[in-house]
Amino acid sequence: MPPWPWRTSPDVSHVSVSDARSTDHGDLVAFCRDAPVDAALLGEHVEAMAQMPFYRDQLLCVRESDRLTGLCWVGGNMVPFRIPPEAFERVGAEVRRRGRRYSSIVGSADQVLGLWPHLETFLPAPRDVRDDQPSMLIDHDPLVEPDPGVGPTAAADIGILMPACVEMFTDEVGYSPLTIGGGYERRVRALVDAGRSLSRIEDGPHGRRVVFKAELGTVALGVTQVQGVWVHPTMRGRGLAAAGMAAVVRHAREHVAPNVSLYVNAYNAPALAAYRRVGFRQVGTFATILF
């Protein structure tokens, strides 16, 4: 006997997936603004499309009966956003058709983990699947006193900053970013030049060193996302992370965006405790698949 109708696959004949070349830029921005914290990672690219229209080729638009219902950034990494579950298969097919490789898939956990089954036989086996990453937000002044020694990194201090950035990346991702060309160093320099690298640098036993650092890695939709938080290993456990993050929040809200977000692995209890002390609250859950 044929299955009952409610046991059959959903009808997706009304679902289409295409790039953003024919989509109104204002509609894309407005769609992202409905959930700006979740959308910030791809929102930065969406906002930039006004000046860099070639970005439209790297944004997939999901439509149901001609209504925009989801987006997926497919640049160096993949960022799905608000894709309806019935459209995951169509999006996966379009990603497979393009034949690209990605360094990661990152975004809201329901999006990443919902899309992954439609990609896992096509993409390389992941090095890590991080399926529980609290997404946190602060939209008010920090609750602890900011570290007065934390401020924008001076261009002259890039040589001191870079080893700390490399160590943080290597510890977090599992390999040195210097093994994949000069893109990482250019990115760090760009953030310093833009005033989006903050650090505390002071004298140590062997010369000047970074004690604390963080970057405002993404800025879009009235949100800045903090990335690359790091405290020198010999200085951990002294409250420097909370005071440093308070300084980052104050600087970001005064000069960059009123809403400050981040996401962190759920198992990183010390980091979660520090962020909560500052005043961050969980507003969602992210997931990251690393290749």
Q: What percent of the chain has pLDDT over 90?
A: 85
d(CA 216, CA 187): 12
Cα 5 to its chain centre, rounded Å, is 40
Averaged pLDDT score across all residues of the chain:
93
pLDDT digit string (tens) for 103-119?
A: 999 999 999 999 999 99
Torsion of CA 173, 175, 180, 183, to 10 degrees: 50
Using the predicted structure, report yes or no on whether residue 174 has a pLDDT greater than 90. no
Task: Go through the domains of the chain in sequence order and give each one's CATH number.
Answer: 11-125 (3.40.630), 138-282 (3.40.630.30)
Which of helix, strand or coil describes residue 183? helix
The residue that leads in pLDDT, 174 or 228, is 228
Give pTM, 2 decimals.
0.90
Which of helix, strand or coil describes residue 212? strand
Q: What is 230-275 written as a DSSP string?
A: EE-GGGTTSSHHHHHHHHHHHHHHHHT-SEEEEE--TT-HHHHHHH
The residue with tokens 């086996």 is: 125
Mean pLDDT in residue range 197-220: 94
Using the predicted structure, report yes or no on whether residue 7 has a pLDDT greater than 50. no
User: Six-digit token pair at 29?
Assistant: 């921005």
Torsion of CA 236, 241, 243, 248, to 10 degrees: 150
Write down the pLDDT at residue 5.
44
Mean pLDDT in residue range 254-261: 98
Cα 185 to its chain centre, rounded Å, is 18
In terms of Cβ atoms closer than 10 Å to its own Cβ (0-12, 13-18, 19+), residue 277 is: middle
